[in-house]
Amino acid sequence: MKTPRITLFIIAHNEEAKIAKCILSAKGLVHEVVVVNGLSKDRTAAICQELGAQVFDRGFDGFTNQKNFALSKVTSEWALNLDADETLSPELKEEIAHVTQNTEFDGFDIPFCNYFLGKKMRFSGLNKEKHLRLVRTQKARYVGGLVHEGLEVKGKIGQLKKPINHYSYDTIETYFRKFNKYTSLAAEQMYQNGRRFSLCFLLVTLPFEFFKRYVLKWGILDGMRGFLWASFSTFYVLVKYAKLWQLQEQNEK
């Protein structure tokens, strides 16, 4: 039975170092590639065009809006979403080709194999991660706000077994380059949702955040990377709430 048409869609900003690997990993499976370029200042758009992708330039106004725009450009029955720092494993490509041929499901959760600072994370809460990434185009849409978007599907959701490889942060510098943007978006979203800063809440949350990731989720078994992941994740929470406090100070005087 012939595999139905599948489109890979990606939103990207300044991803010239990784996006070619992402697109090439889907070669032989997808019939078209749609890239929404968030006005990159590097060669992201040019690289995508060289690889045959359709590129749409669009200023970033939140992950939900950006991904819904990308999804609107998909012409295939099935849509597959990857971030620029993710790739399909060969085994996953075979699994996707098989399950989309004749299925009762309208979307599939896909497990993730996460890499941090160049090495696979086996614990730290990252070993059981999965996301809805493969959907019937006409039954899917993104919901959410500026950050933490979710893919919603009208229909049944199945589970795939083979992973997406996620090469999240190759260096500490790369982590903190994105850190500022994400904490700002998260703080703005919380403020829009009516959340307000509480020092007491923060004092309780921070130690538990570290304990949860390093002990309860066995980050200690990931060695130095597990310690750094737990520490950085805790610092993320601190900065996110500090920025929320700053927004209150600026807007509610």
Residue 61 corresponds to which tokens in the numbers above?
């106004």
Condensed to tens digits (0 to 9), the pLDDT of residues 175-207 reads 999 999 999 999 999 999 999 999 999 999 999
Nearest C-alpha neighbor of 119 from the set 197, 33, 226 = 226
- Domain ranges across the chain: 6-168, 171-251
Query: Using CA atoms, how far apart are residues 225 and 75, in angstroms rounded to an integer?
Result: 41
Assess contact for 196 and 247: CB atoms under 8 A. Answer: no
Res 164: pLDDT: 98
Q: How is domain 6-168 classified at the architecture level of CATH? A: Alpha-Beta Complex (3.90)
Condensed to tens digits (0 to 9), the pLDDT of residues 82-97 reads 999 999 999 999 999 9
Residue 135 contacts by C-beta under 8 Å, 6 or more apart in sequence?
Answer: 78, 79, 106, 107, 108, 151, 153
Res 147: pLDDT: 81
Condensed to tens digits (0 to 9), the pLDDT of residues 130-174 reads 999 999 999 999 998 888 789 999 999 999 999 999 998 999 999
pTM for this model (two decimals): 0.91
